[in-house]
Structure 1
């Protein structure tokens, strides 16, 4: 990227949270650089829901429209690349990309999301975001009243059983091995006629990501249309940790109500700092972050 290498703010991550933060800062006449590698975590999801005015739209279409609108503000620049390292400087921070380009800014915003760690079940990754879903608010209406599975164990399985029963009564829990549900949880689940199957899973039979059957290691099968699951995750970007940003027990970036991390002048928004994984929430936190960053700069300049 030729030209200016110094900015008021660098935003790492150019999906919904990052673009939303950039719009707020662009409208505040701040010089902003967005660095994005072009690999959002929901890239396999065919449609987005529960985001007012965009219900049923493709996530990529929403993101592209947002990017076009944000770049209408001429103080906002976009760099396609992967940020690989960061360091503190006398006047702020320096970020280096995979192509060894270095950019500097007074403030950093991380809108980098998280990376889902796929379990070692063949077919899981291919179905993820399509028919193997994590959020009933985002996708539950589209599979309402369908034969549905919960691929989880322990407290996650119990939480899903409570929640998803509102969308479908044809519900089965698959623990993929010995159940870790407590006797009390098991009693409540059984009371609501939700079977618990403890067989180990061999693979998921699917057609282009649309699940058809769970195939167990004993060669028995179970037909269904949708599965809820919540795989483990890790931070998509490790730079905040190298700068000293603390993580929560859940592995999220620790932020206060103003999206400030534990390192001065470093902010975070979207999925990397919240368990509420939705486009609407990411967009909202990005907007807040952009406003807070501008307000912080305005206070520092007004002395």
Structure 2
């Protein structure tokens, strides 16, 4: 077996990365977690639908996760980004930020990518400022908190129609705002009308909110205002960083990292978990995928050592 600094380097210190580190720490594996900064849900006032932690602040959830890694001395957490990664014969070499200001070189047998994704919000004034409170991405995460309120759903085409129908299970006062021609089929319009969901296709000038980040109204380009307490949007996304690209990992048509049933990417020895892989994006699911990745990583390492 190659002599490396670690058995596994986990790139990303969110729910997926910390959960994988916990499993691997309990397996007595030498693990380094490289935490590159705040998670995607940092602006949110709470993490919801996470068993035993419903409503917890995102930063508090991660603090607890890091605290629970302390009993496992072989797990190291260090702040800083991984800059480069290269596959060698039977191991990987990474460079990462260090306290000295000079990149540190790290070697590892396996890599788990868990950096998540960034959201590409529509270029509308107020959209970024209200993100996480007045502008929401997931009714499963936030629908309960805005139930029975006046809601909007932003987008165009088939995607916005499906999201609006889903949101209508939490409130009967839902309006689709397409910010120009909506590209809605007649069938989609009929389905929306059947659920009393309105459609506004006027261009949007801005979202108006308060200092807390709550939405007050949608202001259209013609000056009209539509009072709403929240607006749901499914924004486009892109991967955080270029590590998967550096390694040559296969991507899906939607820009996610392809993984097999063992959450291994197309590059042998490189695994991925959390929002950067296909599927639903929730903190509890990311944590579960991280735990699963930890199990598969330990079993692969064990096979290499024992068989």
Same fold (TM over 0.5): yes
Q: Which residue of 1 aligns with 2:44?
A: 45
Deviations 1:119-153 (A, max 9, x none): 21011011111121111111100000000000111
CA distance in 1, matches of 2:171, 2:7: 49
Counterpart selection for 2:204 from 201, 204, 215: 201
Deviates more, 1:69-78 or 1:108-117: 69-78
Q: Which residue of 2 aligns with 1:237?
A: 241
Partners of 1:5 and 1:102 within 8 A in 2 = no
Residue 156 of structure 1: how far off its partner (Å):
1.3
Partners of 2:25 and 2:74 within 8 A in 1 = yes
Residue 26 of structure 1: how far off its partner (Å):
0.4
Deviations 1:4-30 (A, max 9, x none): 971000000011000000001000000
Instruction: Give the SS at the match of 1:19.
Output: helix
Q: Which residue of 2 aligns with 1:18?
A: 17
Counterpart selection for 1:276 from 264, 273, 280: 280
CA distance in 2, matches of 1:92, 1:119: 41
Deviates more, 1:118-127 or 1:289-298: 118-127
Instruction: Give the SS at the match of 2:59.
Output: helix
Deviations 1:80-100 (A, max 9, x none): 001121111223111112441
Q: Which runs of 4+ in 1 moved over 4 A?
A: none
Q: Which residue of 2 aligns with 1:299?
A: 303
Counterpart selection for 2:188 from 185, 204, 207: 185
CA distance in 2, matches of 1:117, 1:134: 12
CA distance in 2, matches of 1:72, 1:238: 33
Q: Which residue of 2 aligns with 1:76?
A: 75
Partners of 2:249 and 2:266 within 8 A in 1 = yes
Deviations 1:215-244 (A, max 9, x none): 111111111101110111100121011101
CA distance in 1, matches of 2:263, 2:279: 14
Instruction: Give the SS at the match of 1:149.
Output: strand
Deviations 1:151-185 (A, max 9, x none): 11111111112211110010000001101111111
Instruction: Give the SS at the match of 1:70.
Output: coil
CA distance in 2, matches of 1:274, 1:64: 26
CA distance in 2, matches of 1:243, 1:205: 43
Deviations 1:27-63 (A, max 9, x none): 0000000001122111101111101100111111011
Q: Which residue of 2 aligns with 1:223?
A: 227
Deviations 1:59-111 (A, max 9, x none): 11011000111132100001100112111122311111244111110100000
Gapped regions of structure 1 (runs ≥ 5): none
Instruction: Give the SS at the match of 1:284.
Output: helix
Q: Which residue of 2 aligns with 1:132?
A: 135
CA distance in 2, matches of 1:37, 1:221: 40
CA distance in 1, matches of 2:36, 2:154: 31
Change (3 A) 1:105 1:140: same
Q: Which residue of 2 aligns with 1:90?
A: 89
Instruction: Give the SS at the match of 2:128.
Output: helix
Instruction: Give the SS at the match of 2:60.
Output: helix
Q: Which residue of 1 aligns with 2:28?
A: 29
State the number of aligned residues. Answer: 300
Partners of 1:92 and 1:104 within 8 A in 2 = yes
1:174 aligns with 2:144: no
CA distance in 2, matches of 1:103, 1:118: 35
Q: Which residue of 2 aligns with 1:145?
A: 148
Partners of 2:151 and 2:228 within 8 A in 1 = yes
Deviates more, 1:10-19 or 1:175-184: 175-184
